[in-house]
A and B are shown apart, each in its own frame.
Chain A
Amino acid sequence: MADWQADSRLIQTPAERLSMRHFAQNDSHLPEVDSWINPEVTRIAGAETLLPGVEIFPMGWQKALRRAPAVKAQEIAWQVDVPAVLTVPANPPKVKVLGFVFPESASWDSFARKTDIEEPTESKLGGSGKVSGSKKYGKASQSKGRTRVLPPRDIIKLEDRLYYLLQPPLESIAATESLRFPFAPFPYQFEGVAFLYSRFAGILADEMGLGKTMQAITTIRMLLCSGEIRNVLLVCPKPLVSNWKKEFELWAPEIPFSIVQGNSARREWQWNQMADTPVTIANYELVLRDEMAVTNENCHFDLVVLDEAQRIKNKSSSTSKAIRKIPRTRSWALTGTPVENSCEDLVGIFEFLSPGYLYTGMEPMQIGEMVGDYILRRTKDQVMTDLPPRMNRDADIALSPEQWTQYQVAENDGVIKLNNMGDALTIQHVFELVLRLKQICNFDPLTGASSKLDRLEADLEEVAASGKKAIVFSQWVKTLEKIAERLERFNPLQYHGRIPSNKRDSILDQFKQDPECSVILMSYGAGAVGLNLQFCEYVFLFDRWWNPAVEDQAINRAHRIGAKGAVTVTRMISSGTIEERIHQVLEEKRELFDTILSQAKGPSKSGLSQEDIFGLFELKLPVG
């Protein structure tokens, strides 16, 4: 039966199906049927298997049926193809791994002397920071800042870039036990540290008063503690050496430093020890004097930092040449005015940072684009939104009759003289006339009359009465001395080039502490940079400097971090005189450079050019 069923698949037509049913329903007749059929025929035809396919027609039971039925055999191909198997690979993709192994930084305890740091007080505010009330920076969860060190563009190797990128946030490093701050740094100061940390060449060009000193010291401290550098040379103007000393003691008490000073034998010994001294502080003049010792091939610094780096803006100056020879790995420049007069100033500084990167004759916009990654510049307006305002007040003062007479005579005679000089006229001649006229604006040379001083005296009455303090700036020491005579009742102190260096710190301390001293008289040269006098709320510019950037530096002795109230700046300008003309030119230039600055992201405040100075008297610039 099974065979039948199997073979039944071969039945094609309804008739065939019928015949199959016939046999299936009459199993008992099969032998009979068998007997009808010639066994040979069925054998031949293979009827056992083909029966369902045999066509038997029920034509009756005639004898003819005994004949072997006509069997038509058809061979049917019986072969089924093996189905194709498609194998889908599910093998996991191979994972390629790129690995970087970093050297574990040196122990941060290596410099720690576990110095007891005094609890900060307001009097120790110095140049930066608010009193935090805590020696430690606190838990990470409390310090929300995550200022990260970013690699500069000139670091190419991926491994080096990742090294910086994978460092912890600076706030976290500050939270470690071994790195304490007397005051909590501002977020922008951490950004400044992050900027310097990874740079082998860079300019920190923050506006005066934002704490460039603190940022540089903190970065130096972190690099020393992490073992990335071992010795640093810091070069600054001579009057600022003591300020750096104080700031190092405050911000990096565990870092040993030495100050290069004394006679030549002592200095030579000091220069020989510098490899073992983490920080060496020297002034520009000594570096120039000891050029042989400091540029010796055996002497190599991991980092050289220049404070007030505009000192090397003239690349042909001997100071610049000596500084550039110092063997070093990293070069940083600190300056609030990287461009004082022209883009060439920046070219000069870059000769120290990255020789040949900038060159004379480049367009300002091109320089701006190229130096973008090397300079970090922030202004108070950008970062110190809570800094008290600076109130500028231009005091237009009419000259006294005596002064005015003298002034007119001097100017008229002077201009005639200049015109008569013809081709022999030089900038120096014009410059001398300007100085002469400015001096008359300060004091009448014959009688000593001074409208400015009258005004200053009146203003200081109010300052002293309210218990405030004031700074008065002039470009001449002699002028300051005359002012001091008249203002004796205010117990004026003097701070200028004629005051010996060793007495200057005590003068500043006295001014700060003594409530009877209401005013300090400073020259632009000695007092414009590096000093922290934020307890003063009044600044008087008795006469104007040639360059507004220098004036800004002077003003920012008072208007800086820590200032408690608005700082009032009085610029004294004699009406109808050379001072008024200079003021107009400088204001126009300030506007022009502010425009350029906003495009090139570089700072610039220009002073008077030769053309400007000649133009003050409507003189033409001599050819050649």
Chain B
Amino acid sequence: MSASESKSQISLGFLTVVDSGEIGCVGGYLILNMGGRPLEFHCTAPVRANRAQQILYGESLTPFVYGELIARALIDKAAIKPSIVFADQTETLSVQGMTQLPVVLLAGQLTDIRRQPARHRFEVEGFTLELALQFEAQSETLARYVHRFVETIDLDEPFSRIRDAIEEAQRGARAA
């Protein structure tokens, strides 16, 4: 992530998981250029833990499904490796141990009682971000990207696009 990277080369990933109840959890991963235009979008088929998995995984089930299963599969599948991956759910952060990309939690609007103290917390343009300590040294660069991005688009806006796209994909699947 050198500062000399041209604007067109920089891309940002946005990752979220939608829990559709009985249907299961569906993950969406949107990669945007710095103008907010979509470059890639990936979504999963619904992932549903069975009863045994629910019992055996206990409280660790959601971080496991959100992060290790869904988020990992999505990040692995994408051809573009963005400079940052933003997530808006704490449970998704468990993917950090499985990817080299910095996964930043958009924590500003969350009641984050489970915040892990071993994360670097910083603020950019009114958004509170959390980052694994191993990437702390890059936080300034990341902040610069965020600063440029939010000149045109609010940082939490792409998540609503992902949710709409997941709903559209599910509607299409139901119709088919």
Which residues on A are within 8 Å of B, measured CB to CB? Answer: 88-90, 92-93, 95-102, 104-105, 108, 139-141, 146, 148, 158, 161-163, 165-169, 172-173, 175-176
Given contacts A95-B69, A166-B30, contact A101 B40 (CB under 8 A): yes
Given contacts A93-B47, A95-B45, A166-B161, contact A140 B69 (CB under 8 A): no
Given contacts A89-B52, A97-B77, contact A161 B168 (CB under 8 A): yes
Is A172 in contact with B64, judged by CB distance below 8 angstroms? no
A90-B29 Cα distance, complex, nearest whole Å: 26
Given contacts A139-B151, A158-B168, contact A98 B44 (CB under 8 A): yes
| B150 is an interface residue with CB less than 8 A from chain A | yes
7 A-B pairs closest in CB distance:
A168-B36, A95-B73, A96-B45, A166-B38, A97-B77, A99-B42, A100-B41
A89-B55 Cα distance, complex, nearest whole Å: 12
Given contacts A95-B47, A166-B30, contact A100 B40 (CB under 8 A): yes
Across-interface contacts of A104 in B (CB, < 8 A): 8, 33, 37, 39
Given contacts A95-B47, A165-B165, A169-B153, contact A108 B35 (CB under 8 A): yes
What bracket does the count of chain B residues touching chain A fall in? 35 or more
Given contacts A139-B150, A140-B157, A169-B157, list 14 more A-B pairs with CB under 8 A: A88-B56, A89-B52, A97-B73, A101-B39, A139-B152, A148-B161, A161-B172, A165-B168, A166-B38, A168-B35, A168-B152, A172-B36, A175-B151, A176-B152
A141-B147 Cα distance, complex, nearest whole Å: 12
Q: Considering the complex, which residues of chain B in the window 27-75 have a beta carbon less than 8 Å from any beta carbon of chain A?
A: 27, 30, 32-33, 35-45, 47-50, 52-53, 56-57, 64, 68-70, 73-74
Across-interface contacts of A166 in B (CB, < 8 A): 30, 38, 41, 161, 165
DSSP majority for the A interface? loop
Across-interface contacts of A165 in B (CB, < 8 A): 161, 164-165, 168
Residue among B37, B78, B168 making CB contact with A167, cutoff 8 Å: B37
Given contacts A104-B39, A161-B168, A166-B161, contact A172 B45 (CB under 8 A): no
Across-interface contacts of A90 in B (CB, < 8 A): 52-53, 56-57
Is B70 in contact with A95, judged by CB distance below 8 angstroms? yes
A81 to chain B, nearest CB (A): 26
Residue among A89, A98, A140, A146 making CB contact with B42, cutoff 8 Å: A98
Given contacts A162-B168, A166-B30, contact A102 B41 (CB under 8 A): yes
Interface 1/0 per residue, B101-139 and A, CB below 8 Å: 000000000000000000000000110000000000000
Across-interface contacts of B47 in A (CB, < 8 A): 93, 95
Is B48 in contact with A172, judged by CB distance below 8 angstroms? no
A140-B126 Cα distance, complex, nearest whole Å: 12
**Total A-B residue pairs with C-beta atoms closer than 8 Å?**
119
A140-B35 Cα distance, complex, nearest whole Å: 12
Residue among B44, B64, B164 making CB contact with A92, cutoff 8 Å: B64
Across-interface contacts of A176 in B (CB, < 8 A): 35, 152
Residue among B32, B45, B154 making CB contact with A98, cutoff 8 Å: B45
A146-B159 Cα distance, complex, nearest whole Å: 13
Given contacts A100-B41, A139-B150, A140-B152, contact A93 B36 (CB under 8 A): no
Across-interface contacts of A92 in B (CB, < 8 A): 53, 64, 68-69
B80 to chain A, nearest CB (A): 9
Across-interface contacts of A140 in B (CB, < 8 A): 150-154, 157
Residue among B33, B42, B48, B50 making CB contact with A97, cutoff 8 Å: B42
A93 to chain B, nearest CB (A): 6
A169-B45 Cα distance, complex, nearest whole Å: 27
Across-interface contacts of A96 in B (CB, < 8 A): 44-45
Is B39 in contact with A168, judged by CB distance below 8 angstroms? no
Across-interface contacts of B126 in A (CB, < 8 A): 141
Across-interface contacts of A162 in B (CB, < 8 A): 41, 165, 168-169
Given contacts A140-B157, A162-B169, A166-B165, contact A99 B41 (CB under 8 A): yes
Q: Considering the complex, which residues of chain B in the window 68-98 have a beta carbon less than 8 Å from any beta carbon of chain A?
A: 68-70, 73-74, 77-79
B156 to chain A, nearest CB (A): 10
